[in-house]
């Protein structure tokens, strides 16, 4: 299908070279053989990052944008230099605009800003595990720092109060990823249980192997995003469950993997209910596993039910 839509470039000239971008005037051939003129703004690309702390607060920047003639609220962003690694670029921009360094930077999205006329590609990230530092802006750069909760930013996007496209994408995708942890883990645990229940000769199927790889990637990502759930019971409970499952996977104890996955595969969906139901459900789900293997693996989970247990205990 893509080959049938492809436009072949016949010639390219650059009537304008600027500091930020160049302009190319091209002659292209359409799929039916017709020749047309194409005008392209050539840009080296950009990076942006949604810095979010463990309380769900996002650091935003407010600045004047000359192109639209108004002040906008955006996530920190900057221009890629030619050939620059986007990950290194976003570390630099995060430090310059906010003073922050981050323990972890997670890719969220790759955005084509305006693909009909603009070659710019924007790499969008989420940063967590933030550490404060001194802001050091570029010469001639003026902006103000603001902090908003992620849920508030989602409401602002939906109300039309945030109009910057890359910022809208980062906010909505981050919110969807975090909200989807429960359902995603339910799917992951179910697949793990199914996969390790199969005879070993059936597990070599390429599609199953690819599914397993994606499942493990999501489980590791979910563990990194758990602190953003901002829930005093669910975060450490799931963290404990995931850690034990990953330990069993590393050890290759297939019997224990299947048994544990069977015990926890419905826990994420149950956690969308209220606290009392969740605790009752979990105790019932884990009873069979405990009878077989003892309470060693889940002792910390039960301690979390005590009212004096502080949030964040598993973040060390």
139 is catalytic: yes
Tokens of 42: 């050539």
Per annotation, catalytic residue among 13, 139, 201, 207: 139
Catalytic residues: 139
């Amino acid at each position: 299908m893509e080959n049938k839509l492809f436009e072949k470039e016949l010639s390219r000239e650059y009537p304008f070279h600027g500091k930020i971008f160049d302009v190319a005037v091209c002659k292209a051939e359409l799929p039916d053989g017709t020749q047309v003129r194409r005008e392209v703004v050539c840009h080296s690309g950009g990076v942006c990052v949604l810095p979010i702390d463990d309380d769900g607060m996002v650091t935003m920047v407010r600045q004047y944008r000359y192109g639209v003639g108004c002040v906008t609220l955006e996530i920190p962003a900057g221009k890629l230099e030619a050939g620059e690694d986007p990950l290194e670029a976003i570390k630099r921009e995060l430090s310059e605009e906010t003073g922050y360094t981050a323990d972890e930077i997670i890719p969220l999205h790759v955005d084509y800003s305006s693909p009909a006329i603009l070659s710019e590609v924007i790499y969008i990230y989420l940063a967590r595990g933030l550490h404060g530092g001194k802001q050091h802006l570029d010469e001639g750069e003026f902006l103000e720092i603001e902090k908003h909760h992620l849920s508030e930013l989602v409401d602002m996007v939906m109300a039309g109060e945030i109009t910057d496209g890359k910022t809208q994408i980062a906010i909505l995708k981050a919110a969807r990823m975090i909200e989807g942890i429960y359902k995603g883990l339910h799917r992951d645990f179910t697949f793990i249980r199914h996969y390790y229940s199969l005879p070993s000769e059936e597990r070599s199927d390429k599609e199953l192997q690819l599914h397993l790889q994606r499942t493990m990637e999501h489980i590791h990502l979910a563990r990194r995003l758990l602190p953003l759930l901002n829930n005093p019971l669910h975060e450490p409970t799931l963290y404990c469950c995931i850690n034990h499952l990953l330990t069993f996977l590393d050890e290759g104890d297939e019997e224990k993997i299947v048994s544990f996955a069977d015990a926890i595969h419905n826990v994420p969906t149950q956690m969308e209910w209220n606290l009392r139901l969740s605790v009752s459900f979990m105790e019932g789900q884990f009873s069979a596993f405990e009878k077989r293997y003892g309470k060693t693996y889940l002792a910390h989970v039960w301690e979390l039910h005590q009212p004096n247990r502080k949030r964040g205990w598993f973040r060390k």
